Structure 1
Amino acid sequence: MVSPNSTPNTKEITTEIPTLLRVYNDGTIERLQDSPIVPPTLEDPTTATSSKDVVISNNPLISARLYLPKLIPTHENNLNKVPILVYFHGGGFFFESAFNQIHHNYFNWFVSVTHVLVVSVEYRLAPETPLPAAYDDCWEALKWVTTNNTDPWLINHGDLNRVFIGGDSAGANIVHNIAMRAGVESLPCGVKVLGAFLSHPYFYSSKPIGSEPVAGHEKSVPFVVWNFVYPSAPGGVDNPMINPLVSGAPSLAGLGCSKLLLCTAEKDMMTNRAVLYYEAVKKSGWQGEVELFNVEGEGHAFHIHSPESENAKRMLKRFADFLNKCN
């Protein structure tokens, strides 16, 4: 609504999510917590991790940043093939990037510790492209990995028998939905998702649980964000994509992977929902193995912002065990 004292050229905020985003009447979108975009590095001086950017699709535009650990020749003078992790970044589906400084720094450390090949997906963001586009983009990225016969890193160093998916926050929500899709829709070339990890997943519902305040629940950030990024979602915040435990949601027994790791943080407001999800998976009849890893004293996505902290190092070690011992 234009104020009485405004002129046709006045720039005004039409939508605002405090501390996160402003949308203006001229179409400008201001993402308040984005970190700077940085270029890939041939060999990071601290971790020796190499990275490069690739285009997955031009229509729609989907791209990714690939990360490769420093590989040691075997006794046959060949380089070992390593697990492939297709990763979906967090940011509420409307901010952050696979190419920004925070995620670039994180994956330099991540890859040096876990020794896997990471494909960090740059999916389209809301509000320019509302959900479910991001889910489709990430599925296409996963299919691209399984069929790629042109990228030398994937051809020479990626092990298609050890394909994983992972993500934090909104990215962990994407992991769940991609895993469910993999349970009903085959990937090309017979490739299977071996394992998946969800770090501090973004799940929510119309009814508060645990320590979530009852008063003002509909004005809570997760509630507001979901309606902003997926305004046409059937059922709103009780759509199965955000509330996988809602009545009528597809059975979690259909998860299309064989191992699952749920990561939680004590001070994360959505930890209770992640634990409920973990319990529901165990009771669903799913034939895989599910584990829960909790970090005390930390908040939402702490490991992304402080990858060199002691608790983040513990979490990285847990990821390394999961990605390299899943058989």
Structure 2
Amino acid sequence: MGSTPRTIVKEIVHKSFVYIRMYSDGTVERPSESKYVPPILDDSHPILNSKDITISHNPLLNARIYLPKITKSNDPNQLQKLPILLYFHGGGFIFESAFSKVFDNYFKTFVPLANVIVVSVEYSRAPEYLLPACYHDAWYALNWVSSHSTPNKNPNYVEPWLVNYGDFNRVFIGGDSSGGNIAHNIAMRAGVEALPGGVKISGAILTHPFFYSSYTVGSEPVLDRGDDLAYLVWDLIYPSAPGGIDNPAANPVGPGAPSLTTLGCSKMIVCVAGKDELRDRGVWYYECVKRSGWQGKIELFEEEREGHDYHILKPKSENAQKIMKLLVSFIHE
């Protein structure tokens, strides 16, 4: 006898992309995400190494870590120390991966250019794990990275690349799209909770970040809730969110949101793209932070002729190289 066909109970579709399909048997498919690619753990590779690591078994939390080629020194006490970037990938909280081809290709270009250690976090995705699970994972990962500043006191797995080469006076967080949203929420938490070893976040990088609200901003069109992708995704990933789409996780100035003055980093860059549907939200967020009285330094960068995540999708392009060089300067200035 043949198996009973599965029934599609929900799918999220936007333009030509089917982001996710959920079936009645609990199976989830992600047709639009790129394929898994293995890391490069090969000392003969000319520009970098990468490997997949398990940060925690309970909760299960994995990551891919990238290390650029280190300048060798005859003195083992003079190892080159590099900035650390804890990164949260985009994908609407529901698809893509730290191990997917599109993000691996991006970091193969960015890491040697920036001369930075990147820890790309494989956080829990919806709908299998509803929000706020991804925020908890991100905060756990930041605490884990910070704990390497005092490795002798770390009871968990210790990553030698961080201990030997990481500069814990230069720890950054960042992400694109939904990952930019995660970076914001982690920066807010870091403003009120201490990190191991007294580590401070030097800066936050938010590229094409996802924020939203029940009201439009800028030139956004007024959409029916049933046709609005942001509402569709939010209702799927955080159905129990107090305040709905105006929950502070999505609307950083919504009812009951903590003051942006508590952002726990010393500087921030917000990058937007003129042809991105999230463009006005990124500008709105930048202006909200700027008006809040936050004492850090914030800057806004816009590439008017590009669309969402252009630098991730085409990292070798001229405009992608432009934004990457800007982010390198932000990290190293």
Q: TM-score range by the shorter chain?
A: over 0.9
Query: In structure 2, what residue type is equivalent to 1:190?
Result: G
User: Could you tell me which residue of structure 1 aligns to residue 84 of structure 2?
Assistant: 84
**Do structure 1's residue 32 and structure 2's residue 40 form an aligned pair?**
no
The answer on whether the counterparts of 1:47 and 1:108 sit within 8 Å (CA) in structure 2 is no
Deviations 1:11-69 (A, max 9, x none): 11101111211111111111121111111102498861110111111111101100001
**Do structure 1's residue 282 and structure 2's residue 281 form an aligned pair?**
no
Q: 1:217 offset after TM fit, Å?
A: 4.3
User: Could you tell me which residue of structure 2 aligns to residue 310 of structure 1?
Assistant: 318
Query: In structure 2, what residue type is equivalent to 1:194?
Result: S
**Do structure 1's residue 161 and structure 2's residue 161 form an aligned pair?**
no
User: Could you tell me which residue of structure 1 aligns to residue 160 of structure 2?
Assistant: 152
The answer on whether the counterparts of 1:44 and 1:108 sit within 8 Å (CA) in structure 2 is no
Query: In structure 1, what residue type is equivalent to 2:88?
Result: F
Q: 1:45 to 1:244 in 2, by over 3 A?
A: farther
Q: 1:8 offset after TM fit, Å?
A: 9.7
* Aligned pairs for 1:176-325 within 5 A: 176-325=184-333
Secondary structure class of the residue paired with 2:312 = helix
Q: 1:218 offset after TM fit, Å?
A: 4.5
Deviations 1:262-309 (A, max 9, x none): 000011111111111111111111111001011121111111110000
Q: 1:79 offset after TM fit, Å?
A: 2.9
Deviations 1:196-231 (A, max 9, x none): 010000001112223322132452111110111111
User: Could you tell me which residue of structure 2 aligns to residue 117 of structure 1?
Assistant: 117
What count of residue pairs does the alignment treat as equivalent? 319
Q: 1:58 to 1:273 in 2, by over 3 A?
A: same
Q: 1:13 aligns with which of 3, 8, 23?
A: 8
Q: 1:248 offset after TM fit, Å?
A: 2.9
The whole-number CA distance in structure 1 between the counterparts of 2:329 and 2:46 is 19
Secondary structure class of the residue paired with 1:20 = strand
Q: 1:218 to 1:205 in 2, by over 3 A?
A: farther
User: Could you tell me which residue of structure 2 aligns to residue 4 of structure 1?
Assistant: none
User: Could you tell me which residue of structure 1 aligns to residue 22 of structure 2?
Assistant: 23
Q: RMSD value over aligned CA atoms?
A: 1.7
Residues 66-75 or 262-271, more deviating: 66-75
The whole-number CA distance in structure 2 between the counterparts of 1:37 and 1:132 is 25
The whole-number CA distance in structure 2 between the counterparts of 1:115 and 1:44 is 17
Query: In structure 1, what residue type is equivalent to 2:130?
Result: P
Residues 46-55 or 128-137, more deviating: 46-55
Query: In structure 2, what residue type is equivalent to 1:11?
Result: R
The answer on whether the counterparts of 2:61 and 2:122 sit within 8 Å (CA) in structure 1 is yes
Query: In structure 2, what residue type is equivalent to 1:71?
Result: I
The whole-number CA distance in structure 2 between the counterparts of 1:199 and 1:46 is 29
The whole-number CA distance in structure 2 between the counterparts of 1:296 and 1:153 is 38
The whole-number CA distance in structure 2 between the counterparts of 1:217 and 1:317 is 39
The whole-number CA distance in structure 2 between the counterparts of 1:96 and 1:47 is 27
**Do structure 1's residue 107 and structure 2's residue 100 form an aligned pair?**
no
The whole-number CA distance in structure 1 between the counterparts of 2:135 and 2:236 is 16
Secondary structure class of the residue paired with 2:138 = helix
The answer on whether the counterparts of 2:220 and 2:280 sit within 8 Å (CA) in structure 1 is no
Query: In structure 2, what residue type is equivalent to 1:122?
Result: E
Deviations 1:123-157 (A, max 9, x none): 11111110000000010000000113321100110
TM-score by length of 1: 0.94
TM-score by length of 2: 0.92
For structure 2, the 5+ residue unaligned runs are: 152-157
User: Could you tell me which residue of structure 1 aligns to residue 155 of structure 2?
Assistant: none
Secondary structure class of the residue paired with 1:272 = helix
The whole-number CA distance in structure 2 between the counterparts of 1:127 and 1:323 is 34
User: Could you tell me which residue of structure 1 aligns to residue 66 of structure 2?
Assistant: 67
Q: 1:176 offset after TM fit, Å?
A: 0.3
